[in-house]
């Protein structure tokens, strides 16, 4: 049984991501291309009022003993593009285990820094969610080309919080990981799963305590002290903060306890101190119903998937009556596991996928496929969401058991469960009650009541939310904004969790805010955002091209893409590229030779490269390069993508069994998309 964490869900299909970036560069995405940050000095934020900055005595003015030392990067799953760029420098921040005891035990926290091209740049400190999630995921995201404009004005500073995966010590619960893998092929009752989860948590607690770790020292207030120590150790004056998910609570704690150190704050998918964990079940129910209602209101989606809510209920009931065994690959190890798949797992799958803005458009199709007995897509997606080796559950329990669950009531959890979808109640009520059980014995520090209250501040704050976010609904941000005197709340239609990282529009709004935190950012682009559901009709629109603006690649073998693959591409192309067609080939030639071939051919046909329209990325053992070309009429578009050469691991990570059969190790897949914009 895995608890609902508040961290960024990083599922994406790499070639679709690159495709979207090129379309953005063409000016045909949901928003205009992101402008570079100006280099003028940002307006100084006013000092907050005394009433807005009252701070607990224990954390307000600790003696600073922290120090920063450079070191090789400890992060083990950085994308190759991050490593190759060479812009990430790392080190360790040494901090007191308890800031009220600066001469006592210390902790070492990993830090990653991407330096600005600007001299004496301010810091943009990036805080991950969880609690217990590693910031490594965000390093890989912010290394993307679309975020590089930030480096014109800011050093990007990534702090791995105390207790997380690469911290010393970390609070990773190997007992829970072992229990998870040992029970993948079993269907457990709620009682069995709760008993096992609580037993594993107790064993983890016992081991960590015997190691001399003070689990009561892992709190949001202590972590806020770490953020301030980081600022001092790196010699920054004031800092800007980006927090996502639980990282927003940590950011709010810094705003409350160290207001004089902050210039501006972005709260992305807000999890405020006053949030009640028993409301999570209601929040997920809202997101499920938002999905069902949005499909029903969309003519194309409703035609393809009528009565989606009923279809979901039928699929869950069928699987709970007759569970399946799915072959699911662990993307961390490439090992394939037998996974017992019942209706509860399907509910959990949809719940987790609602985090991802990129995947939400495909959820109606996924539900329909599973209900009709086609589990290929479900099996593929489980590879990305089922195997989590990044969360330190010891940190999760220390925060939740100290700051949330002491203020929550089991009676409310049971009342909430009666008001939601029965499929959700069946899954989430036992999970919630399980955490109550763990917290009865977990030696967390009982939080001061202030840790469960709205944070009041006049610091400039941008608050963002995604329409479909299942765990931090827009209402969280709206409630938080009421106590922040200089705040701007923006809800982004069609997006899920971690809205700022999910679209060009949301990133554009965030950048505008950072440039001038005292001015309301332009949010006009949100009017163009809308979930665009992937349907069979959409997939049918993308067909092989018999003729096109470019020839077949010399000596290559032509391929016809599967319906699944075409559906993925078509979902990104719809409403952006008209009359789209594709050509697909496989060859042993190097990607550079292929890209040069098409660049020459397209130049002769009157095409020019799209400005900023070349994208490179390596993930899940797949090397992908995509280049966009536009004709002089600014209408005709060609996108050339090369994937490979694929090794054995990359072949398995293509996400399409049909392609796995057609390609061999050493092949490069060529995809040419053409149409009009």
- Per residue in 301-337, pLDDT (tens digit) is 999 999 999 999 999 999 999 999 999 988 778 789 9
- Is 23 a member of any domain? no
Question: Is 6 contained in some domain?
Answer: no
**Higher-scoring residue by pLDDT: 253, 375:** 253
pLDDT band at residue 23, thresholds of 50, 70 and 90?
low
Query: pLDDT by residue (tens digit) across 487-520?
Result: 999 999 999 999 999 998 999 999 999 999 999 9
Going by pLDDT thresholds of 50, 70 and 90, the confidence category of residue 620 is low
At 563 the pLDDT is: 66
- Is the pLDDT at 415 greater than 70? The verdict is yes
For the segment 87-115, what is each residue's pLDDT rounded down to a tens digit? Answer: 899 999 999 999 999 989 999 999 999 99
Say yes or no: 201 and 344 in one domain.
yes
Q: Residue length, the chain?
A: 677
Residues 493 and 587 in one domain: no
Residue 366 has pLDDT above 70, yes or no: yes
Whether residues 332 and 479 fall in one domain:
no
Same domain, 510 and 406: no
Pairing of the two strands 668-676 and 543-544: unpaired
Is pLDDT of 592 > 80? Answer: yes
Identify whether residues 498 and 553 lie together within a single domain: no
SS3 state of residue 461: strand
Cα 187 to the center of its chain, rounded Å: 29
The single residue listed with the structure tokens 């064993």 is: 203
pLDDT in tens, 533-552: 887 655 445 555 555 666 77
Domain boundary among 503, 528, 553: 528
Is 128 within a domain?
A: yes
Q: For residues 675 and 677, give the distance between their C-alpha atoms in angstroms, rounded to a whole number.
A: 7
CA atoms of 282 and 273, how far apart (whole Å): 18
- Please state the rounded mean pLDDT for residues 406-427: 97
**CATH assignment of the domain containing 57:** 3.40.50.1820
Q: Is the peptide bond before 131 cis (omega within 30 degrees of 0)?
A: yes
Q: Is 60 exceeded by the pLDDT of residue 10? A: no
As given in the structure block, the two tokens for residue 465 are 């939310």
580 falls within a domain = yes
Q: What is the pLDDT of residue 635?
A: 78
**Interval 638-673: pLDDT, tens:** 888 888 888 877 777 676 677 778 888 899 988 888
Q: What is the pLDDT of residue 234?
A: 96
**Helices 14-25 and 563-573 meet at what angle, rounded to 10?**
30
402 with 524, same domain? Answer: no
Whole-number pLDDT of residue 621: 63
CA distance 337 to 145: 35
Degrees to nearest 5, angle at CA 131 with 271 and 447: 75
11 CB burial (10 A radius; 0-12, 13-18, 19+): middle
* Cα dist from 591 to 80, 113, 145, 193, 469, whole Å: 17, 31, 20, 48, 38
Query: Do 460 and 522 have their domain in common?
Result: yes
Q: How confident is the model at residue 30 (pLDDT cuts 50, 70, 90)?
A: very low
The C-alpha atoms of residue 501 and residue 495 are separated, in whole angstroms, by 10
Please give the share of the chain, as a percent, with pLDDT higher than 90.
Answer: 60
Q: Which pLDDT score is estimated for 515?
A: 95
Q: What is the mean pLDDT of the chain?
A: 85
Q: Report yes or no on 10 lying in a domain.
A: no
Distance between the two ends of the chain, CA-based, in angstroms?
A: 46
Q: What is the DSSP letter of 574?
A: T
User: What total number of domains does the chain contain?
Assistant: 3
Q: Are residues 633 and 598 part of one domain?
A: yes
Which pLDDT belongs to residue 632?
77
Q: Which of 418, 442, 466 is the last residue of a domain?
A: 442
Radius of gyration over every alpha carbon of the chain, rounded to an integer in angstroms: 25
Structural domain boundaries enclosing 324: 173-211+280-442
Same domain as 424, residue 466:
no
pLDDT average, residue stretch 193-214? 96
Tokens 């081991």 sit on residue: 207
Report if residue 615 sits inside a domain.
Answer: yes
Q: How many CB atoms within 10 Å of residue 121? A: 17
Residues 6+ apart with CB under 8 A from 49: 458
What backbone torsions phi and psi does residue 437 show, to the nearest 5 degrees? Answer: -65, -45
Q: Which pTM was predicted?
A: 0.79
C-alpha pair distances (Å), 224 with each of 244, 399, 456, 597: 15, 13, 16, 53
What mean pLDDT is predicted for residues 621-637? 80
Give 419 or 148, the one with higher predicted confidence: 419
Helix, strand or coil for residue 590?
Answer: coil
Label residue 14 by pLDDT band (50, 70, 90): very low
Tens-digit pLDDT profile for residues 455-471: 999 999 999 999 999 99
Let me know: does 458 contact 487? Beta carbons within 8 Å. no
> Does any domain span residue 479?
yes
Answer whether residue 79 is part of any domain: yes
Mean pLDDT along residues 77-88: 83
Share above pLDDT 70 across residues of the chain, in percent, rounded to a whole number: 84
Give residue-wise pLDDT tens across range 121-165: 999 999 999 999 999 999 988 988 788 889 999 999 999 999 999
Last residue of a domain, one of 442, 465, 480: 442
From residue 114, give the alpha-carbon distance in Å to each of 142, 448, 530.
9, 36, 33
Does residue 426 carry a pLDDT above 80? yes
- Tokens representing 665? 């190790």
Is 420 found in the same domain as 317?
A: yes
Is the confidence at residue 576, as pLDDT, over 70? no
User: Which has the higher per-residue pLDDT, 45 or 104?
Assistant: 104
Secondary structure percentages of the chain, helix, strand, coil, to 5: 45, 20, 35
Same domain? For 426 and 459 the reply is no
Is the pLDDT assigned to residue 28 strictly greater than 50? no
Three-state DSSP at 472 gives coil
Pair 111, 197 in one domain: no
């Amino acid at each position: 049984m895995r608890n609902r964490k508040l961290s960024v869900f990083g599922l994406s299909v790499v070639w679709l991501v690159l495709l979207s970036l090129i379309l953005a560069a063409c000016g045909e995405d949901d928003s205009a291309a992101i402008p570079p940050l100006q280099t003028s000095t940002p307006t100084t934020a006013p000092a907050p009022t005394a009433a807005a900055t009252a701070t607990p005595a224990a954390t307000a003015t600790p003696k600073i003993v922290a120090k920063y030392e450079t070191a090789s990067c400890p992060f083990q799953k950085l994308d190759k593009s991050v490593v190759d760029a060479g812009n990430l420098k790392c080190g360790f921040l040494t901090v007191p285990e308890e800031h009220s005891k600066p001469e006592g035990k210390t902790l070492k926290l990993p830090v990653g820094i991407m330096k600005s091209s600007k001299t004496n740049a301010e810091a943009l400190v990036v805080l991950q969610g969880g609690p217990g999630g590693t910031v490594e995921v965000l390093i890989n995201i912010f290394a993307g080309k679309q975020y590089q404009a930030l480096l014109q004005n800011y050093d990007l500073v990534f702090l791995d919080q105390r207790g997380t995966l690469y911290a010393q010590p970390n609070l990773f619960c190997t007992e829970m990981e072992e229990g998870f893998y040992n029970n993948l092929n079993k269907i457990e009752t709620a009682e069995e799963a709760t008993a096992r989860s609580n037993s594993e948590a107790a064993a983890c607690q016992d081991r960590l305590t015997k190691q001399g770790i003070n689990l009561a020292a892992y709190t949001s207030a202590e972590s806020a002290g770490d953020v301030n120590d980081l600022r001092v150790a790196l010699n920054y004056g004031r800092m800007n903060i980006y927090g996502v998910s639980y990282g927003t609570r940590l950011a709010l704690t810094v705003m409350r306890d160290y207001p004089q150190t902050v210039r501006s704050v972005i709260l992305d998918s807000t999890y405020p101190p006053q949030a009640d964990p028993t409301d999570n079940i209601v929040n997920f129910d809202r997101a499920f119903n938002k999905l069902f209602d949005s499909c029903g209101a969309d003519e194309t989606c409703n035609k393809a998937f009528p009565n989606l809510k009923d279809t979901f209920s039928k699929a869950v009931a069928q699987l709970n009556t007759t569970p399946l065994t799915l072959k699911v690959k662990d993307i961390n190890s490439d090992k394939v596991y037998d996974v017992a798949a019942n209706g509860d797992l399907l509910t959990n799958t949809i719940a987790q996928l609602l985090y991802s803005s990129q995947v939400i458009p495909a959820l109606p199709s996924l539900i329909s496929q599973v209900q009709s007995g086609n589990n290929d897509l479900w099996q593929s997606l489980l590879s990305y969401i089922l195997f989590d080796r990044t969360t330190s559950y010891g940190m999760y329990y220390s925060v939740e058991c100290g700051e949330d669950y002491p203020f929550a009531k089991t009676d409310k959890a049971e009342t909430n469960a009666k008001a939601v979808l029965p499929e959700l109640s069946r899954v989430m009520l036992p999970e919630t009650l399980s955490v109550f059980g763990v917290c009865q014995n977990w030696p967390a520090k009982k939080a001061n009541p202030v840790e469960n209250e709205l944070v009041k501040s006049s610091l400039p704050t941008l608050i963002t939310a995604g329409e479909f976010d299942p765990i931090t609904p827009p209402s969280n941000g709206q409630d938080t904004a009421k106590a922040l005197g200089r705040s701007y709340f923006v809800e982004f239609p069609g997006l899920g969790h971690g809205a700022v990282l999910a679209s060009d529009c949301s990133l554009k709004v965030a950048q505008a805010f950072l440039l001038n935190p005292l001015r309301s950012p332009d949010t006009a682009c949100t009017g163009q955002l809308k979930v665009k559901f992937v349907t069979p009709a959409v997939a049918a629109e993308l067909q092989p091209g018999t003729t096109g603006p470019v020839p077949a690649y010399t000596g290559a073998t032509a391929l016809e893409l599967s319906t699944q693959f075409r559906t993925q591409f078509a979902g990104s192309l719809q409403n952006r590229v008209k009359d789209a067609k594709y050509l697909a080939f496989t060859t042993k030639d190097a990607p550079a030779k292929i890209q040069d071939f098409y660049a020459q051919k397209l130049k002769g046909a009157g095409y020019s490269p799209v400005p900023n329209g070349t994208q490179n990325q390596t993930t899940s053992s797949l090397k992908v390069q995509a280049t966009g070309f536009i004709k002089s009429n600014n209408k005709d578009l060609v996108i050339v993508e090369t994937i490979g050469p694929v090794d054995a691991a990359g072949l398995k990570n293509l996400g399409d069994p049909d392609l796995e059969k057609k390609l061999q190790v050493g092949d490069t897949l060529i995809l040419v998309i053409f149409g009009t914009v």
